[in-house]
């Protein structure tokens, strides 16, 4: 009956997810900030999957360049819409017209896939000030409305583990790390701050703290934030020059069979991607800039080679890609979320951010591929229509 239809929908959903591949690229444009003159912007046009950038030129002939991604969020997108797209793929839930709250919650693919033993990486990329931390964490002193992806993802996890508690017993724990100058630091180690270069990879002994409520999560996030701040005395804004990673581990035990499933999700707020003018910086700043360039390039290379299904994936070129190796590629799902600033004078960084994103994207404009996808999607849509009819007969 009803259950079977839901189960069928799940299957279709997975098929659609598979069609879309394991690498997605989203783009978000920050709004002008309060007090900023919002007159001239480099963002010419934002559509669901396209963004057009205006490049001003001195001779008055402005050039336009268009980019296509899996999803583009304009300056008015709310934290909720952004998280919903990540977690639910709203387009699909519209297609399926789910009305029952339970089904809706149960279809959250990203969260569900972690609970089903998949690994997920979400990266926030972009120049400093473009809105990476806003998306992942939220503003300072966030409210329920303005919390970012990290909090919302954990909140969703707790909802679903609660719903499934009769059949599966879940344990959720969190690690927080920072990578600065190619060194991994544990942000949840209270006594001693370990340098996690154990074997050069994976930091298996970074503190992993159990969480079961959203207030546990908020406490941990505050603790990580504090530990990060402590080390920033020497630099004015270290947070923009290090990568920070919150890793959520989930272990589920099937109460009937005793089988154990493990999944994890890495939520990564990357260091600012802006080019540093080598003629202007020296010493520590130059070293930092070189480490950042190297690790962002290494991340780009890894995702690009996964996107192009290359046989060699160069994980070993940076600490970041070594740390996340198990969660990049294979069955793991990757979301590269790039952020851009709307200001005209950011246009150089904006274009280079979008080019980075384009390079790691699996979207091809080739006709052959597009045709194949339309065919598959058409077929799936028909099946969905049939299921919907079955569902409404049931009601």
Q: Least distance from C-beta 341 to ligand ADP, angstroms?
A: 8
Q: Check residue 353 for interaction with Mg ion (CB under 5 A).
A: no
How are the residues of the chain apportioned to helix, strand and coil, as percentages rounded to the nearest 5?
A: 45, 20, 35
Does 341 contact Mg ion by CB under 5 A? no
Per-residue x/- track, 138-177, ligand ADP (CB under 6 A) = -x--------------------------------------
Q: What six digits make up the tokens of 93? A: 């839930």
Distance of CA 302 to the CA centre of its chain: 16
Q: Choose which of 22, 108, 119, 133 interacts with ligand ADP (CB under 6 A).
A: 133
Q: Distance between CA 40 and CA 381 in Å, rounded?
A: 42
For strands 168-180 and 50-55, give the pairing: unpaired
Choose between 129 and 224: whose C-beta lies nearer to ligand ADP: 129
Q: Calculate ∠ Cα 105-81-83, nearest 5°.
A: 60
| Token pair 């999607």: residue | 377
Tell whether residue 229 is a contact of ligand ADP (CB under 6 A). Answer: no
Strands (E), the chain: 23-29, 43-46, 50-55, 63-68, 71-73, 119-126, 168-180, 183-186, 209-211, 243-254, 260-269, 333-340
User: What is the separation, in whole angstroms, between the first and last Cα of the chain?
Assistant: 10
* Residue with smallest beta-carbon separation from ligand ADP: 131
Is residue 132 part of the contact set for ligand ADP (CB under 6 A)? yes
Q: Is 244 in the site for Mg ion (CB under 5 A)?
A: no
Candidates 243, 94, 263, 240; CA nearest to 170 is 263
**31 lines the binding site for ligand ADP (CB under 6 A):** yes
Q: Check the annotation: does 130 bind a ligand.
A: yes
Q: Is 134 in the site for ligand ADP (CB under 6 A)?
A: yes
- 46, β-bridge pairs: 51
131 marked among binding-site residues: yes
Q: Does 129 appear as a known binding residue?
A: yes
Continuous H helices in 143-252:
149-163, 214-230
> Is 362 near Mg ion (CB under 5 A)?
no
- C-alpha distances in angstroms, 293 versus 69, 200, 270? 23, 20, 11
Contact pattern for Mg ion over residues 129 through 168, marking x by CB under 5 A: ---xx-----------------------------------
Q: Check residue 30 for interaction with ligand ADP (CB under 6 A).
A: yes
Q: Applying CB under 6 A, does 196 fall inside the site for ligand ADP?
A: no
Query: What DSSP state is assigned to residue 249?
Result: E
Count of chain residues binding ligand ADP (CB under 6 A): 14
Minimal CB distance residue for Mg ion: 133
Q: Which is nearer to Mg ion, 188 or 268 (CB)?
A: 268
Of 112-120, 122-130, 315-323, 342-350: span binding ligand ADP (CB under 6 A):
122-130
For residue 240, state whether it binds ligand ADP (rule: CB under 6 A). yes
**Which residues of this protein are in contact with Mg ion, per CB under 5 A?**
132-133
Which residues are part of a known binding site for ATP?
126-133
**Which residues of this protein are in contact with ligand ADP, per CB under 6 A?**
30-31, 33, 126, 128-134, 139, 240, 339
């Amino acid at each position: 009956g009803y259950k079977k239809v839901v189960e069928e929908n799940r299957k279709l959903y997975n098929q659609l997810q598979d069609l879309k591949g394991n690498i997605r690229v989203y783009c978000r444009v920050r709004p002008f900030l309060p007090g900023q003159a919002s007159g001239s912007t480099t963002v010419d046009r934002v559509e669901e999957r396209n963004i057009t950038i205006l490049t001003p030129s001195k001779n008055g002939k402005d050039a336009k360049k268009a980019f296509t991604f899996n999803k583009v969020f304009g300056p008015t997108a709310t934290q909720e819409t952004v998280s919903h797209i990540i977690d639910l793929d709203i387009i699909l839930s519209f297609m399926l017209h789910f009305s029952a709250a339970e089904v809706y919650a149960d279809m959250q693919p990203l969260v569900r896939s972690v609970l089903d033993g998949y690994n997920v990486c979400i990266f926030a990329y972009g120049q400093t000030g473009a809105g990476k931390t806003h998306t992942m964490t939220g503003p300072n002193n966030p409210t329920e409305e303005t919390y970012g992806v990290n909090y919302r993802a954990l909140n969703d996890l707790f909802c679903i583990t609660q719903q499934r508690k009769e059949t599966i017993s879940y344990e959720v724990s969190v690690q927080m790390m920072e990578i600065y100058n190619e060194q991994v630091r544990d942000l949840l180690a209270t006594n001693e701050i370990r340098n996690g270069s154990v074997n050069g990879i994976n930091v298996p002994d970074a503190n992993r703290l159990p969480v079961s409520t959203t207030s546990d999560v908020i406490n941990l996030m505050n603790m990580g934030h504090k530990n990060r701040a402590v080390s920033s005395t020497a630099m004015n804004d270290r947070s923009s020059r290090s990568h920070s990673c919150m890793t959520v581990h989930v272990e589920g035990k099937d109460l009937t069979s005793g089988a154990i499933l493990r999944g994890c999700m890495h939520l990564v707020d990357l260091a600012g991607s802006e080019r540093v003018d080598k003629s202007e910086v020296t010493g520590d700043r130059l070293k930092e800039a070189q480490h950042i360039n190297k690790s962002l390039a290494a991340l780009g290379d890894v995702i690009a080679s996964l996107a192009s299904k290359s046989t060699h994936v160069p994980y070993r070129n940076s600490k970041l890609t070594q740390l996340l190796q198990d969660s990049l590629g294979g069955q793991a799902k990757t979301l590269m979320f790039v952020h851009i600033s709307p200001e005209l004078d950011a246009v150089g960084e904006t274009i280079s951010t979008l080019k980075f994103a384009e390079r790691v994207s699996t979207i091809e404009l080739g006709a052959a591929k597009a045709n194949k996808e339309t065919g598959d999607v058409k077929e799936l849509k028909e099946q969905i229509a049939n299921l919907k009819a079955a569902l409404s007969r049931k009601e």
